[in-house]
Structure 1
Amino acid sequence: MINRGKYSVLGVEISAIDYEYGVEAIINAAKARSPLAMTALAVHGVMTGFSDPVHRRRLNAFDLVTPDGQPVRWALNWIHGIKLPDRVYGPTLTLKVLEAAAIEGLPVYFYGSKQETLDLLLEKLQIKFPGLKVVGAEPSKFRRLTPQEKQEVVNRINNSGATITFVGLGCPRQEVWVYEYHNHLSMPLMAVGAAFDFHAGTVSQAPSWMQKRGLEWFYRLIQEPGRLWKRYLLLNPMYLTFTFLQMLSISKQPVLKPTGMEPEESYG
């Protein structure tokens, strides 16, 4: 049986959970109107935390950090012997939570991406989940928000009646956003990255056989080589190297506590 705790992968605490556990935790928090910070991390997200101690403390303050990429799941299994059977992929978890929210009548909110992407996303989701209650959606401003703008965002989401907010700002901006807002919004905040684009149909997903073999990064690199080449061709070898070194290490890396950190102005 899997011990559904958190385990260090390069100092970032990853939740060893499956989809069923993740959906249940999020839906229960939504029903209880309780704050819950969640993100799904692939290699890029883990390496961002590994290389930035401040951001690592943010990530380690999250309630759920799911192994979004197969290499992150593999690291959990290799280093800690967990035998997690599958990753918990942000776009798939998004659909599973939306399906449960539609069944339970839980209103949802979408924050991030572009207006045209949101329009396409909501159109397709309403077809897929006819009972889904979408009570708000607003695009990113693609800059830091002022304190007044941040409070206005909090007010809009709170006043909408939403019980779950999906955040699609890209890594690491979306994790910064969730970290800063989760104490102001009594609901689960889900940082789900490219899920908005995938489900809107503006970006195609890798074939399932590539996803299962951990080759999704290669598919995305071919799609956007100019933007992603540094992320994958530099970070992936670094990730494998440091993961191997952690495997060889006798002592596990220390758990970092989210203390002594000044919040930044929020991304929007």
Structure 2
Amino acid sequence: MNIHESTEPDTEKKTDSILGIECAVSYDYSLDLGTVVISWIKKSESRYICCANVHMLVIAKESREFRDVITSADLITLDGRPIFWLVFLKNIFYYFLGYSPLNKHRILQFCGRDVMEETIKLASDMSFPIGFYGNRKEVLDSLISKIKADYSKVRINYIFSPPFRPLSPQEDMEIISAINRSNIRILFVSLGCPKQEYWMHDKKNKVQAVMIGVGGAFEVVSNFKPRPPKVVQNLGFEWLFRLLLEPNRLIFRNLYYSPKFVLILLTRFILKSIKYSRSRLHIIKFSVSR
């Protein structure tokens, strides 16, 4: 992520359909994620970023309410190779058909921990105060120690581990007030999907910061959980790496959401192929009749 302090970009958001869900997946080639976040910070805007994976998109497909939460995000990065490959290959397919959905726009591929680490570096270099919301206290303590060791100039103004129960309206208001009083510009949220996305959606225009949902990144960056090797990530097998580490927690997610993702994908491909074939047949019949 490059840093351009003086740039005030026209952040034209480009969307692409992922499983029929319109998601903001890219910005102009001249921009990068850091430039976009800086432009929001300088304007003191309340925004939120989601890192989409298979689990999140299948839930959004099943729930209209959650789909609205996702499509309302200011940016969705592609978390994990399966989603990245889906968008990449789809755009290549359309390119050969004579279409170019994203034109000269790049496809961003950042998983939650990459977004978090790159944004922390940006905040440290530019003295933007940051905060952390979610996960367990012991994870947060380890995370803060690790970040302070890695980034000497980092300013951490807010840290909170919420209780594992619904918050009362009074508690919710107190948390919002505390976050805003801290003057943080970036808030990393680790509540798990879909809870963190609902939380950020509800707090938009209430929390005056850029909120970034990073899922389990707190535990990986703090070294509570091992980081998958780069080759495993690039080959698209991070899900298997995590499943072997936490089978009890992830077995249902992998047995339910992954096959459903493939089924939805195949169904949409077949329907689109039929639709395309019919449209081509109609064009041929029209040409012959003339």
**What TM-score, normalized to structure 1?**
0.87
- The answer to whether residue 255 in structure 2 is matched with residue 233 in structure 1 is yes
In 2, are the aligned partners of 1:40 and 1:191 still within 8 Å (CA)?
yes
Which secondary structure state, in structure 2, belongs to the residue aligned with residue 189 of structure 1? strand
Aligned match of 2:234: 212
Alignment of structure 1 residues 1-268 onto 2, 5 Å: 5-17=14-26, 21-81=32-92, 87-250=109-272
Between 70-79 and 13-22, the greater mean CA deviation after superposition: 13-22
Which secondary structure state, in structure 1, belongs to the residue aligned with residue 66 of structure 2? helix
Between 23-32 and 164-173, the greater mean CA deviation after superposition: 23-32
In 1, are the aligned partners of 2:26 and 2:108 still within 8 Å (CA)?
no
- How many Å apart are 1:85 and its aligned residue? 6.5
Q: Distance in 2 between matches of 1:85 and 1:212?
A: 16
Aligned match of 1:265: none
In structure 2, do the counterparts of structure 1 residues 229 and 88 end up closer, same or farther at CA, with 3 Å as the change threshold?
Answer: same
- How many Å apart are 1:34 and its aligned residue? 0.4
Q: Distance in 2 between matches of 1:140 and 1:206?
A: 28
- How many Å apart are 1:145 and its aligned residue? 1.2
Give the alignment's Cα RMSD to 1 decimal.
2.1
Which secondary structure state, in structure 1, belongs to the residue aligned with residue 122 of structure 2? helix
Between 102-111 and 30-39, the greater mean CA deviation after superposition: 30-39
In 2, are the aligned partners of 1:38 and 1:63 still within 8 Å (CA)?
yes
One-letter amino acid matched to 1:204: P
Amino-acid identity (%): 27
Q: Distance in 1 between matches of 2:247 and 2:39?
A: 40
Q: Distance in 1 between matches of 2:231 and 2:82?
A: 15
**What TM-score, normalized to structure 2?**
0.81
- How many Å apart are 1:41 and its aligned residue? 1.2
Count of residues in correspondence between the two structures: 250
Unaligned ranges ≥5, structure 1: 253-268
Q: Distance in 2 between matches of 1:156 and 1:109?
A: 11
- How many Å apart are 1:44 and its aligned residue? 0.7
- How many Å apart are 1:59 and its aligned residue? 0.7
- How many Å apart are 1:78 and its aligned residue? 2.7
- How many Å apart are 1:223 and its aligned residue? 0.7
One-letter amino acid matched to 2:32: Y
Deviations 1:51-96 (A, max 9, x none): 1111011111111111101111111123333696762111011111
One-letter amino acid matched to 1:10: L
Deviations 1:160-208 (A, max 9, x none): 1111111011111100110000120122110011110111111112111
> With CA pairs under 8 Å and 6+ residues apart, which has the higher RCO, 1 or 2?
1
One-letter amino acid matched to 1:44: H
Q: Detail structure 1 runs of 4+ shifted over 6 Å in the superposition.
A: none
- How many Å apart are 1:12 and its aligned residue? 2.8
Q: Distance in 1 between matches of 2:167 and 2:202?
A: 12
One-letter amino acid matched to 2:237: L
